[in-house]
Amino acid sequence: MGPPVDRDVVMAPPQFNPQQYPTPPNQPASVPQKPPQDCVDKYKRLKRKYFELEEVRVVVAKIVAWSLQSTHFLTSTHTRP
């Protein structure tokens, strides 16, 4: 059952209780954490794979451009009867 209808009700967020939330451990800000070695290795492999795929994409784009130019050249030199 809600509040009585003959009174105004003030709506506000609940009171903050600092004891309800644990405090985070103090960690020095000047010492950055190093990622685990397996993450570093995985990142290196993914980066290498990205550059390999980028090289393939560039080569395929050149082949497609060359093939389109060759096709245009071949079709433009022939006359239709």
User: In b/e form, how buried is each residue of 27-38, taking b as 16+ CB within 10 angstroms?
Assistant: eeeeeeeeeeee
Q: What is the dihedral of CA 42, 46, 52, 57, to 10 degrees?
A: 170
Q: Is the pTM of this model over 0.85?
A: no
Spatial distance between the Cα atoms of 76 and 53, rounded to a whole number of angstroms: 34
First to last CA, the chain: 92
| Per-residue pLDDT in tens (0 to 9) along the chain, 81 residues | 566 667 777 777 777 777 777 766 676 666 678 888 999 999 999 999 999 999 999 999 999 999 888 876 666 555 555
